[in-house]
């Protein structure tokens, strides 16, 4: 039986927590430590290593996990915590029926499910109405439970592009650079500055067509080269990174040459693009779970017409990009595209990465230290080491032998606070 977070906080009368398990994976890719302890004081890790070398401080609260593996808190570098899950009742007509605050309230549910799945940090790459900023504030102030968030505000591309709202009659959801559409370098710069003004610590642009957008091909180029460069230049001046939604090969290469930090999806990546990404250090965030899910929805008839065709095409192309990324040394960070599948199932991405050719070690690194580097937070997150923030998860057994163990999280500690424990 799981103890609630409120009960755990009430029981925690000391400032020192000791975690003890049969194994520990520190997030760097190094071999596991056997019979390991992690000592946490306040919200920081103070000691990590073999239990024989690390004594439990007198009076500390000790959690014995037995045949389990301790890992850094998981990081999802492509999330959408705000709003519905694709296909959830009410999603189709939400823009014309829902109250404006409803999507944010769904975000409260989604944030908690994500945290309890072991994902203590996310990069939220798109939400309306600055709802992601509000959700981040509520989590940071302890009002609600959820992961640590890096946020972009509303993602944007061209008018009528993959990240612009479409499919409604004129006047239902008019957009401009304040929301989802920016045309020309000047509007793009305004869009970046506007988001950073209100708290964005990353920027999401939509370079190509998408799977779920209406009226475009999945990989067609949409943003012009000077628009992409304007986004990167404006963001760089404000010390934030740019994530580029890009399925098609041409869009991927233009975005990499412009200096984006990451390619989101990268579905039709080719050899030239992989070489460019490796040389530039551009991360691939492959969102395999999203493509798996849209293929399932197309097969069930939930997605129909052009969207179903695009889903099948993208799914079929999916595994190749992982092979190219591994072949040429492209850094990979885990991301799931959270609005597509039921929240809390993020860890399925680990298994899909392994199915696509990554080793369990590579997949776990992608969801810990590599994702932390992409977010620019590797000085405090992503590995289990003294001095880092105390984000720790535990899974049953050994995930290097069975990656599916990541889907059955036993323990979640974020900032030294226990949210889930046996």
pLDDT at res. 413: 98
User: In whole angstroms, what is the distance from residue 194 CA to residue 200 CA?
Assistant: 9
Task: Report, at the CATH architecture level, how domain 5-73+382-420 is classified.
Answer: Roll (2.30)
pLDDT at res. 68: 98
pLDDT at res. 119: 98
Asked if 352 and 366 touch (Cβ cutoff 8 Å), the reply is no
Q: What residues form DSSP beta bridges with 48?
A: 38
Closest C-alpha to 159, from 106, 113, 252, 224:
224
Grouping H, G, I as helix, E, B as strand and the rest as coil, residue 305 is helix
Task: Considering the chain, tell me which residue range(s) the CATH 3.20.20.140 domain(s) occupy.
Answer: 74-375
pLDDT at res. 174: 67
CA 50 to chain centre: 31
- In words, the CATH class of domain 74-375 is alpha beta
Asked if 68 and 394 touch (Cβ cutoff 8 Å), the reply is yes
- Output the CA–CA distances (angstroms, integers) from residue 146 to 24, 41, 100, 116, 163, in the order listed: 24, 21, 21, 8, 26
Instruction: Strand 262-265: give its sheet, edge to edge.
Output: 202-206, 241-246, 262-265, 283-285
User: In whole angstroms, what is the distance from residue 293 CA to residue 299 CA?
Assistant: 10
Task: Considering the chain, tell me which residue range(s) the CATH 2.30.40.10 domain(s) occupy.
Answer: 5-73+382-420
Q: Which residue has the tokens 């070489």?
A: 275
pLDDT at res. 169: 62
Asked if 146 and 81 touch (Cβ cutoff 8 Å), the reply is yes
Grouping H, G, I as helix, E, B as strand and the rest as coil, residue 245 is strand
How many other C-beta atoms can be found within 10 angstroms of the C-beta atom of residue 96? 10
Grouping H, G, I as helix, E, B as strand and the rest as coil, residue 254 is helix
Q: Residue ranges of the chain with pLDDT lower than 50? A: 1-14
User: In whole angstroms, what is the distance from residue 46 CA to residue 62 CA?
Assistant: 15
């Amino acid at each position: 039986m799981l103890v609630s977070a409120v009960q755990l906080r009430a029981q925690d009368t000391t400032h020192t927590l000791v975690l003890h398990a049969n194994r520990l994976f520190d997030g760097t890719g190094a071999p596991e430590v056997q019979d390991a302890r992690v000592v946490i004081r306040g919200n920081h890790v103070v000691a990590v290593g073999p239990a024989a070398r690390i004594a439990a401080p007198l009076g500390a609260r000790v959690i014995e996990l037995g045949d389990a593996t301790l890992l850094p808190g998981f990081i999802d570098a492509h999330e959408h915590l705000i709003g519905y899950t694709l296909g959830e009742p009410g999603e189709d007509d939400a823009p014309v029926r829902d109250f404006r605050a409803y999507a944010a309230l769904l975000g409260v549910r989604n944030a908690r499910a994500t945290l309890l799945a072991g994902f203590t940090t996310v990069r939220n790459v798109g939400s309306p109405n600055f709802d992601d900023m509000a959700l981040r504030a509520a989590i940071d102030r302890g009002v609600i439970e959820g992961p640590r968030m890096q946020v972009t505000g509303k993602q944007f591309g061209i008018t009528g592009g993959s990240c612009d709202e479409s499919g409604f009659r004129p006047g239902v959801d008019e957009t401009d650079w304040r929301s989802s559409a920016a045309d020309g370098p000047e509007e793009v710069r305004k869009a970046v500055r506007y988001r950073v003004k209100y708290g964005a610590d990353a920027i999401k642009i939509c370079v190509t067509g998408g799977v779920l957008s209406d009226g475009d091909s999945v990989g067609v180029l949409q943003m012009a080269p000077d628009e992409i460069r304007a986004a990167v230049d404006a963001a760089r001046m404000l010390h934030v990174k740019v994530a580029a939604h890009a399925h098609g090969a041409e869009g991927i290469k233009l975005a990499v040459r412009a200096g984006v930090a990451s390619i989101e999806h990268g579905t039709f990546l080719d050899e030239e693009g992989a070489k460019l990404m490796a040389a530039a250090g551009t991360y691939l965030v492959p969102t395999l779970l999203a493509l798996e899910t849209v293929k399932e929805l197309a097969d069930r008839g939930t997605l129909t017409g052009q969207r179903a065709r695009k889903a099948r095409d993208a799914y079929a192309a999916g595994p190749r990009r992982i092979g190219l990324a591994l072949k040429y040394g492209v850094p990979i960070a885990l991301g799931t595209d959270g609005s597509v599948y039921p929240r809390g199932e993020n860890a399925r991405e680990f298994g899909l990465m392994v199915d696509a050719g990554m080793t369990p070690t590579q997949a776990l690194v992608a969801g810990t230290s590599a994702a932390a580097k992409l977010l620019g937070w590797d000085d405090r997150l992503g590995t289990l080491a003294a001095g880092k923030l105390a984000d720790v998860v535990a899974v049953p057994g050994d995930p290097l032998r069975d990656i599916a163990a990541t889907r059955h999280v036993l323990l979640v500690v974020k900032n030294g606070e226990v949210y889930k424990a046996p």
